[in-house]
Each structure stands twice: as C-alpha cells, then as structure tokens.
Amino acid sequence: MDYGIKGRKAIVCASSRGLGRGCALALAEAGCDMVINGRDAARLAETAAEIRDRFGVRVTEVAADVGTVEGQRALLEAAPQPDILVNNNAGPPLRDFRDLSRQSMIDGVVNNMVTPIELIQAVIDGMAERGFGRIVNITSLSVYMPITGLDLSSGARAGLTAFLAGVARPVAHRNVTINSILPGKFDTDRIRANIEHGAKKAGVSVEERRKQQIAEIPAKRFGTAEEFGQACAFLCSAYAGYITGQNLRLDGGLFPAAF
C-alpha cells in the first residue's frame, strides 16, 4: 500500500534496535527520508546501512541519548522541519518500587514523559504551519494494565498519555495528529531481559518462563517489530489524518476489554 508519505522527513527516536527499528524500516519502506537515533554508534550504523541498501532513502545517524538536551538538539539540527516524529525511549528496568530512589524516579519521568513532550514542543508548530504532521509515541500496554516492577515506567507513560490527550485536539484541524501505540509482549531485547529476570525469581528455566508468558496471550505468540512498525507507518500515513488522540493497543488480545 502506498501510504502517501514518500519524501516526507521523519525523526525516529531510539531506532537502532527493537520497536523503534521496526518503525524506521516501515517508514523507509513507505519512502520517508529519516533521522535515526541510538546510543550505540556501531549498532546505529548497521541499521542505517540496512535502510539505505533496502529502500534507497536518505538516512542521517545521530548517536546520542535522546533523553538529554544535547541529544534532542542533535536530532533537531539533523531534521529541523520534520513531518513525522516517532517518540521512543528505553524504560526503567524492573525494580521493586520500594527500591526506587528520588533520582531514579526523576530520571524515569524525564525519559518517558518529559523527553517526548519536549520534542513535540519543538516540532508541532512547524508541522501546523506546513499543514502536515504525524506524531506517534511508543508507550506501553502497562498504561492500561500495570506490570509489577515496572511501576515507574507505567506511571511516566500514563502521565504522557494524559498530557497529550489535550495537546492533540487543538492542532487536529491543521492536519497534525498525535497518537500512541501501546505494545504488549513483543520479541525484543527488553522482554527477553524481563523473561530472564522472571525465570530467576520464579526458579524456573528461561524457556519455561517464555512458554508461560506466551500462554497468557490469546494470539499464542509474541509480536514482531515488523508488524509494530507497519502499524506506526499507517498512523503516519496520509490516510490517518482523522485519527488523533488515540491509544492503539498492539497486544495479541492480552488486555481483556471491549472498549
């Protein structure tokens, strides 16, 4: 399907691996030129080379921590007038809430709430002036269904969700949309780390813990970064202008709700 965004400029944060990488690949397939980002310069270069080779689009690499002022500045210097912004950042590791220090809580909120808001502040008016903008935030199913040990991540992402619910409406008439995708259990480095942590805590093998996790999902599998990326690309498409302020759960049916 032609998403109608060929030649558009995208910033995809934390896109050297995992779900962010899936989004970058899907947007490149749709014809977008892009800035990709990650902390590991070598991994970032590999992803950039693959995108260029497969899709022939222009790719700029920004090796930086998107949670820092310097990292954000580097992204915006590389693409001062983006048409598309995909907000993504690593969440805090599993940890009992009793063990969270004040600084670790501040860091979690900065990374998973403040940082995406700051980037949106920087790009939204330009998008509105040009009459096209697509902002997609990668949050988590834990916004709806908190996960024990990821309370800080859940809280920060829920705060972002509530914050942007109001921000999305005033720019909708300028063809600027703001939506979030809430991943459930996807086959990424993060879930593999969580499975290892859970296996150790439960005293079972990693494989047994993996099977337990899959059994809870109605689809009976983990999601893939590729299908996540395609959902993101559609929300960024020319045909998604009537979708805004929404939270798309991609979870294989894990969250048991009708609405």
If we measure between CA atoms, which residue out of 181, 259, 184 comes closest to residue 218?
184
Distance CA 36, CA 45 (A): 10
Per-residue pLDDT at 156 exceeds 90: yes
Judged against a pLDDT cut of 90, whether residue 17 lies above it is answered with yes
pLDDT category of residue 194 using cuts at 50, 70 and 90? confident
User: Do residues 183 and 141 touch, judged by C-beta distance below 8 A?
Assistant: yes
Closest CA to 136 of 234, 21, 226: 234
* 92: amino acid identity, one letter: P
**Residue ranges of domains in the chain, CATH in brackets:** 9-185+224-250 (3.40.50.720), 187-222 (no CATH)
Backbone angles phi, psi at 16, to 5 degrees: -80, -15
Q: What is the pLDDT of residue 93?
A: 86
| Closest of 79, 75, 29, 23 to residue 52, by C-alpha | 29
Sign of the four-CA dihedral 129, 36, 90, 64: negative
Q: Is the pLDDT of residue 244 over 90?
A: yes
- Pick the closest to residue 61 from 80, 46, 82 (CA basis): 46
Q: Among all chains, which residue has been given the structure tokens 């395609």? A: 230
Amino acid at 162: A
128 pLDDT above the threshold of 90: yes
| pLDDT for position 189 | 86
Q: What is the pTM of this model?
A: 0.95
Question: Do 228 and 189 meet the contact criterion of CB atoms below 8 Å apart?
Answer: no
CB neighbours (10 Å) of residue 197? 16
Instruction: Please report, as a single letter, which amino acid is at residue 64.
Output: A
Confidence class for position 94, pLDDT limits 50, 70, 90: confident
pLDDT attached to residue 104: 96
Question: How many C-beta atoms lie closer than 10 Å to residue 39's C-beta?
Answer: 15
